[in-house]
Structure formats: C-alpha cells, structure tokens
Amino acid sequence: MSNNAQNEKHWVFNNIKLLIVQGILAALIFAVDLKIELGVAAGVPYISLVLVALWSKKKRLIWIGAIFGTVLTILGYGLSPLGGETWKVLANRMLALFSIWVTAFIGYLFKKNEMALQQINENLEAQVETRTYQLKSTNEYLKREIQENLYAKKSLEKLHTQNKTILETAGMGIFGLDREGRTTFCNPSAAAMLGYSTEEQVGKNQHDLIHHSHESGSKYPQDHCPIFDTLKNGACYRISEDVFWEKKGSSFPVEYISSPVFDGEKVVGAVVTFKDISLQKHLEKEKDILLRDLQRINTELKGFAHIVSHDLKEPLRGISYNSKWLLEDFGDKLGTEGAKLIELLTQNTQRMHNLISGILEFAELGVLKSKPIVIHSGTVAETVIKYLTKESGITIEVQEPMPNVVYRNLQLEQIFQNLISNAIRHLGKPEGKIVVSCADQNEFWCFQVWDNGKGIETRHFERIFGMFQSLDRSKAPGSTGIGLTLVKKIAEQNGGRVWVESEVGKFTRFMFTIPK
C-alpha cells in the first residue's frame, strides 16, 4: 500500500466520529427538506454540516461538509414538494448555498488561524522549553562557577594565610617595593634587623631609609643601586656583600636578592630578601686567623720533623756501624750468643731508622709541589712489583684492563708499594698469590690488592689503618705500622677512600678508589 493511501486511511480513521455525525445530520435535514414545500428556506440547516466540521483538526472536513450540504440543497430543490413562487424558491436555495459557503470560508479562516495560533503556541512552548533548558544549564554553570569561586576564595585565603605565616616566621628579612621604590610591606624579621617598625617603612623610599650610604659613609646614589636597577630593567640581582643602615644610625653587612614583580610584561615593583651576615664575616675573619696559625704551626712541625729526623738518624747510623765493626773485629770473642745479640741490635736500629723515615714521609705528605698527571695505573703497579723482594713461591699478577688515571705518580707508587708489600709480609706462608685489579664504579675507579694469605679478623679492620699499628710485628720485624696510614691519607687527600675485606684463612682484599 502506498504512503498516500495509508495517510488517507489514517485520516478517515481519526475523523470517523465526525463523519458519522455529519452523515446523520445530513440524513435528518434531507428527510425534513423533502417533506417541506419549496417555498420554505429548508436549505439553510445544511450549514450545520460545516459547523460540525469545525470540531475536526483538519480543514478538509469543512470543505467536505460544504460540498455535502451543497449537493443535498440542490437535490432537495429537485425532490421537495412544489410550492411558492419560483424566483423566491431559487432565491431561497441560492441564499442557502451562499450561507453554506460563506460559513465554510469563515470556518476555514477560523481553522487556519486556529492552526496558526496552535503552531505559534507550539513554537512558543518549544522556545520556552529551550530557554528553560538554557536557563537550567546557565543556572548549573553559575552554581559550578560560584562553587569554584568559593573554593578559589578559600584556597586564596589559605594561600594568603600561608604566605603571611611564611613572611612572619621567615628568618630572612623580606620587604616589597612599588614602581617608585616605596615600601609596600615588610616582614617582622626585616623590621627587627633594621630597627624600623612596619608602619615606619610602608610608603617611605626604601633607599633613602636603609641604603643611602656605603659602608665608608659616602653617599650611595640611587641610580647605582641594584635594587632600583631591578625596578628599571626588570632584572634579578644577587648581591653577596653590601650594607644596610639601621634606625639607630649604624650599618651591618648583608647579602640580598632583588627580584622584579611583573604585571604581564610591565614591572610593577620588586621584592628584596636579605640576611645579616655579620656572624659569617666574623667567622671568616676567625677562619683566616686560624688558617694562618695552622700554616705557621705546620711549617714549624715540618721543620721540627726534619731536625728530629736528622738528629735521631745520626746516632742510629753510629750504633749500626759500631755494631757491624764490633761483630767483625770481636765476633770470635763474643761467641754465638753475643753475635745474635749484636745482629738483633742491628735489626732494631734499622727498624728505628725506617720508622723515623716513615714519620717524616707522613709529615711531608700533602705538600708535594708536583701536579697530578695522566698515568697508566697498570704500568705504575708493574714498576713497583719489579723492585719488591719476595719469596720465590709467591706470584704477583696485574689483571688487565687497568685504566689511565689523573694522579701524582709518586703517590700512586706509594699506595701500590705499601699494599703489595703488606700482602707479602703478612701472607703467612711461603707460597701464595697476590692479584692487583681494577673495577669501574660509575664516578670512581676501584682498585683491589687481593691475596690468599691468612686473612684478618673483622675486629682489626679499623685499627690497622692507625699510626704504628701492626698485627704481627714479631713475624714481620720490618713493619713500621705507618704504611697503611700513609695509604689512607693519600687516598682521602685525592678524593677517594680505602678499606679492607677479609675472611680468616682464605683471603684479604684491600681496596681504594680514585675519582674519574
């Protein structure tokens, strides 16, 4: 079925009641019309068919009623009983037809206006609904804006309270300036240091109040002031040493930062934070005095060490020479026991000589005039090993790769010589192995001197790096107890450190680091 046919069927179904009413009225009026003589104006009641159509929402039913009334009026003229004059009958029927169509036209206009009004009403309702939705949306938006503004206000109040607390509790002085250099605010610390209350500073030219003169008392031109340069140029200045003037007329040294305040791209003021560095200046003076005293004492100690070293070594050399001569000239008279005592005296004399040399070497450490150079650590280790005395059953290995380092050649030799010699002396057996190696530890090179000797107990790890400390002096009479102390001092003076790891009966590993 086509859409037009469906629409027609739908229209008839919706207006079936009115169509039935029109049909019944038409039948009743037509029945009456047929019984009345033609002279009577029986065609006028057909107007009711048009009036009934006004109940319908469709204009089509009006025209149907008019057509139906017209047809019945004409049929009634032909079928009604004769009576009256002809022209009156015709006039009567013409008047009825005219009334029907005038009523139909008026009804059509009424219906048209009614539908137009209905359309306008529907449009208005739609507009009202749209506007209502818009107003609701706007209302929701305003509610959200109000809530956000309230939240922002609370946040600003909280931030203001926090900033106020920071300003009031900050240990540094803080004050603000407007574009002309007048004070806009001042925190309690600044007021306490300057001696001016906040009320005495606000609105006053800050330069004239606290920054008007140099420390010498000469005038400080405002055009040369870094704080006013901030206001002019919008740049931030950090001044490490200057003076501010207190209310009582005295100055005090300060360090301050002057930062611009912008409104868009325009400089509208500045904030200055400062601190009193009087104590710092006093400590610097004391430090300079202490450093000079320390340098003087070090110089005296070095001279004393050289003098003592020379004065002590001289009689030791005499004792050593006399012991050898005594043994050579009177060995047969001293006997075996006497010869042993003379030999023990010679050994102790040599040990004392080595001990004095070690003390002098330790005292001179750190005052070498040579500069660090790039050296190959493996070559330095091989050179040291070449001149060391050891048992034939002891092997010493340098594992590659060994890196290039920036170090004083003599100091690196001292470290390797002391650690490797220490491993040989305290191996505790005629056969063993010593390994020198290096590992990369990010910002450092970590060197290791490992041996498979008797090991060291954990409780001795710290003590062995102390002056004159030796774990087994009887089995290592040549040990002075200074070697590891020298290693520790050299490593730390060059930005590294030294430590030991060991397991008794299995191994000992000394490690030291060199910065890359």
The CA–CA distances, whole Å, from 24 to 18, 42, 46, 101, 215 equal 10, 17, 12, 20, 122
CA distances from 213 to 204, 218, 251 (A): 17, 5, 9
Q: Which residues of 58-97 are buried (b: 16+ CB within 10 A; e: fewer)?
A: ebebbbbbbebbbebbeebbeebeeeeeeeebeebbeebb
User: Does the pLDDT value for residue 335 go beyond 70?
Assistant: yes
pLDDT at 147 over 80: yes
pLDDT at 307 over 90: no
Q: Strand (E) positions, 418-469? A: 432-441, 444-451
Residue 15 predicted with pLDDT over 70: no
pLDDT of residue 359: 63
pLDDT at 374 over 80: yes
Higher pLDDT, 407 or 7: 407
- The Cα–Cα gap between 353 and 464 comes to 21
C-alpha dihedral, 491 to 421 to 504 to 449, nearest 10°: 50
What end-to-end distance do the CA atoms of the chain give, in Å? 96
Q: What is the DSSP letter of 369?
A: -
Residue 138: predicted pLDDT: 86
Instruction: Note whether 234 and 260 are within 8 A (CB).
Output: yes
List Cβ neighbours of 388 (8 Å cut-off, separation of 6 or more). 396, 417, 420, 421, 424
Residue 350's pLDDT is 66
Q: Is 238 exposed, middle or buried (0-12, 13-18, 19+ CB in 10 A)?
A: exposed
pLDDT at residue 348 tops 60: yes
Sheet containing 237-245, strands listed edge to edge, beginning at the edge strand earlier in sequence: 183-186, 173-178, 266-276, 251-263, 237-245
Does pLDDT of 14 surpass 70? no
Token pair 């050593």 in the structure block, residue: 320
Mapping DSSP to helix (H, G, I), strand (E, B) and coil, where does residue 56 land?
coil
Q: How confident is the model at residue 141 (pLDDT cuts 50, 70, 90)?
A: confident
Write out the two tokens for 229. Answer: 């340069």
pLDDT score, position 63: 80
Q: What is the CB neighbour count within 10 angstroms for residue 54?
A: 19
Most confident of the ranges 142-151, 196-205, 407-416 = 196-205
Task: Assign 52 a pLDDT band (cuts: 50, 70, 90).
Answer: confident
Nearest to 449 by CA among 503, 405, 398: 398
pLDDT of residue 114: 74
Instruction: Give the CA distances from residue 330 to residues 58, 336, 399, in Å, rounded to whole numbers and listed in that order.
Output: 158, 12, 52
What's the CA angle centered on 413, arms 370 and 389, to 5 degrees?
A: 145
Cα–Cα distance measured from residue 334 to residue 380, given in angstroms and rounded to the nearest whole number: 47
Write out pLDDT tens, residues 63-91. Answer: 877 777 777 777 766 665 555 566 666 66
What pLDDT is recorded for position 99?
77
Q: What percent of the chain has pLDDT over 90?
A: 32
Summarised one tens digit per residue, pLDDT across range 417-434 is: 889 988 998 887 888 999
The residue ranking higher by pLDDT, 443 or 312, is 443
In angstroms, the CA 422 to CA 512 distance is 15
The whole-number average pLDDT for the span 478-497 is 82
Check whether 255 has a pLDDT greater than 60.
yes
Check residue 377 and give its pLDDT: 95
The C-alpha atoms of residue 368 and residue 163 are separated, in whole angstroms, by 54
Mean pLDDT of the chain: 80
* 218 confidence band (pLDDT: 50, 70, 90): very high
Structure confidence by residue, pLDDT tens digits, 95-105: 777 777 877 78
Residue 495, pLDDT score: 92
Two tokens, residue 226: 């870094």
What pLDDT is recorded for position 10? 56
**What is the C-alpha separation between 223 and 348, in angstroms, rounded?**
78
Largest distance between two CA atoms of the chain: 200
Phi–psi pair at 9, nearest 5 degrees:
-60, -40
Q: Which two tokens stand for residue 456?
A: 């060291």
Q: Grade residue 450 by pLDDT with cuts at 50, 70 and 90.
A: very high
Position 247 scores a pLDDT of 92
Contact by Cβ (8 Å): 215, 243 = yes
Give pLDDT, residue 483. Answer: 80
Give mean pLDDT, residues 156-165: 70
**Is 496 in contact with 514 (CB distance < 8 Å)?**
yes
pLDDT at 182 over 60: yes
487 within 8 A of 418, measured Cβ to Cβ = yes
- Mean pLDDT, residues 397-408: 94
- pLDDT for residue 294 is more than 60: yes
- The answer to whether residue 435 scores a pLDDT higher than 90 is yes
Residue linked to tokens 């079925």 = 1
Token pair 């001092």: residue: 489
In sequence order, the β-bridge partners of residue 511 are 448, 499
Is the pLDDT confidence value at 468 over 60?
no
For residue 51, what are its two tokens?
């009036």
* Window from 16-30, 189-203, 252-266 with minimum mean pLDDT: 16-30
Does 165 score more than 90 pLDDT? no
Spatial neighbors of 183 by CB under 8 A, at least 6 apart, are: 175, 176, 177, 201, 202, 203, 204, 206, 209
Beta strands in 323-442 (DSSP E): 373-376, 394-398, 404-407, 432-441
| pLDDT of 512 above 90 | yes
